[in-house]
Amino acid sequence: MPNPPALPRGGFTLPINGFDMYCEVGGDGPLLVFLPGALVGVDVHRHLVEAFRKRFTVLTGDAKGQGRSTLGRGPITYVSMTSDVIRLLDHFGIGEADFFGIGDGGVCGFHLLVDYSHRVRSVSMSGAPYSHAAYTQFGRDFIDRIGGRMLAPTGYLKVFRDSYAMTSPNPAQFDEVARRVAKTWGSQPNFNKAMLATIEKPALVISCDRDEFISEAAFRRVAAWIPKARLAHFPGMGHLPAMFRDALVAKVADFVASI
Amino acid sequence: MPKPPVLPRGGFIVRINGFDMYCEVEGEGPFLVFLPGAMVCVDVFRPLVEAFRKRFTVLTADASGQGRSALGAGPITYVSMADDLVRLFDHLGIAEADCFGIGDGGACGLQLLIDFSDRVRSASLSSTAFSHWCYTAFGKDFIRRMPELVKSPTGILKVFYDVYAQVSPAPERFMEMAGRVARTWASAPNFNKAMLATIEKPTLVISSDRDDFVTEAAFRRLAACIPGARLAHFPGMAHVPGVFRDAVAGAVAMFVGAV
């Protein structure tokens, strides 16, 4: 495994592509880049990040407009978020890295594997849809009405908004962040079998059977389409790993160590 | 119309994302970025570029591994090419620009419109497929046989190959470059109606009825899917504008002038 680069520790802010990206480095062990995705920040995934820190030196950054990062200009798409992560690697002189992405962060993982594979040592993805064909009926309904739901958040969206109110440098911009994210969620991701078949780097697909948004069949499909992908299945787990977090981290650690 | 940025003139090399990108700036008038795409370069489109230079200050840039640019590390995809352009804009201090893309360059234009729209003032797209659905039977067959065709280039591939042999800093890497492009052509572009519907910047779709690769129906569909898009149809024109080049440059100038 490559040596972790010399990184600052704790929480700090970096100017990346026209916005201030909030990053954290913590934990011990090989370097892992944790991708939280859109509408969520590191704070939403705090317990999971802590579990990873027991096994890895974890670098994580809130995407544009998410969590403690500022909003900046332009779309918040899987491509734009992935591009910003590459700029973060550039900033620290990290040539390639092992990544873990959850939900939208996992979708960024697909882009890393397809479009930026020279910056990837491996990617592990949890709760990640490859296209709208991956959604459950609940997920599809959620996405179809996302514009309206963002305006009056309940459930997950309320958790996200409440966390945002506590941590964002500008909580009043939640509606604008939600508008940009809803555009992306309403139309993407849109990977197909042929695109996933171009992947050459090691990928671990984390699967479960209680994800409200993504069908178990979709996880199996992704693992079958990505050449040589590994599949780790967690019966009973939902979209967020919750009490499965230590088991999930152990699987990722085993996978990364085996490369 | 915004003033053209202060740029060097003539041909020059800029270090972008770990490779030496070949750029040219020539012509008089409002600023326009010309996107040639993959397997092709500014030298392949010389007469078309000259037609644009009568009406615009034109910046062209050969993508990674194309024409006079060096072959960088990593995939050559519509995402990676669009990302490299954004970094070129950063380097040259271009906040946003009117863009013209032909073929693959048009697909990069779509990527810019969706993922980096804050850097786009307008986009004009010629001979552009938004997905494999757009291809003619000839185009589909060409894409399918591409990995085999590049081994002994004929027709349009021979034209590309001969130009590459003359201008590339590393002509012996043609097959390596072509392999990376074939990987992308086999699986992308893959924009769908919902993604095109998120486009907010002014877009001109240049349509024709003699394009060997893209159907006339696809151009009409593209214009119908992008909110507010204009359509300029050139009966008799093929994939490369040929004798229509002045008329195409004229249509783009009128469109950009009206934005």
ipTM of the complex model: 0.94
CB contact (8 A) between residue A115 and residue B187: no
Quote the pLDDT of residue B153. Answer: 86
- A110 in reach of chain B (CB within 8 A): no
Q: Are A118 and B74 in contact (CB under 8 A)?
A: yes
Which residue among B116, B183, B190 places its CB closest to the CB of A74?
Answer: B116
Q: Given this model, what pLDDT does residue B253 score?
A: 98
- Smallest Cα distance from A116 to chain B, Å: 6
Which two structure tokens, joined as six digits, stand for B248? 């195409």
Nearest Cα residue in chain B from A81: B115
pLDDT at residue number A149:
79
Binary contact (B118, A119; C-beta < 8 A): no
Q: Residue A14's pLDDT is what?
A: 97
Do the Cβ atoms of A187 and B188 come within 8 Å?
Answer: no
pLDDT in tens, A34-82: 999 888 888 889 999 999 999 999 999 999 999 999 999 999 999 999 9
Q: Check if A258 contacts B (Cβ < 8 Å).
A: no
3-state secondary structure of A61: strand
Residues in chain B predicted with pLDDT less than 70, given as ranges, are: 1-4
pLDDT digits (tens, 9 = 90+) for B234-251: 999 999 999 999 999 999
Instruction: Give the DSSP letter of residue B135.
Output: B
- Which of B19, B83, B180 is the mutation pick for testing A, counting most A CBs within 10 A? B83
Q: What is the pLDDT of residue B1?
A: 55
Residues of A in contact with B187 (CB under 8 A): 192, 194-195, 197-198
Q: Give the three-state DSSP class for B115.
A: helix
Query: Are B118 and A74 a contacting pair at CB < 8 A?
Result: yes
Alpha-carbon distance of B7 to B103, in angstroms, equals 26
Q: Cβ of A187 and B195 within 8 Å?
A: yes
Q: How far is CA A24 from the centre of its chain?
A: 15
Cross-chain Cβ contact A75/B118 below 8 Å: yes
Find the closest chain A residue to B90 by CA distance: A17
Q: Which of A75, A192, A197 sits opposite B190 (nearest CB)?
A: A192
Q: Provide the pairing of β-strand A19-26 with A10-16.
A: antiparallel
- Would you state the structure tokens that stand for residue A154, as one six-digit string? 């309940």
Give the residue on A whose Cα is nearest the Cα of B17: A90
Q: Cβ contact (<8 Å) for A80 and B115?
A: yes
Instruction: Give the residue ranges of chain A where pLDDT is below 70.
Output: 1-4
Q: Which residues of A touch B75 (CB under 8 A)?
A: 114-118, 198
Omega before A189 within 30 of 0, i.e. cis = yes
Per-residue pLDDT, A147: 76
Nearest to B9 by CA among B122, B92, B102, B98: B92
Q: Which two tokens stand for residue A167?
A: 């941590």
Look at residue B3 in the predicted model and tell me its pLDDT. Answer: 61
Q: Smallest Cα–Cα separation from A13: which of A55, A58, A62, A57?
A: A62
Q: What is the DSSP letter of A85?
A: H
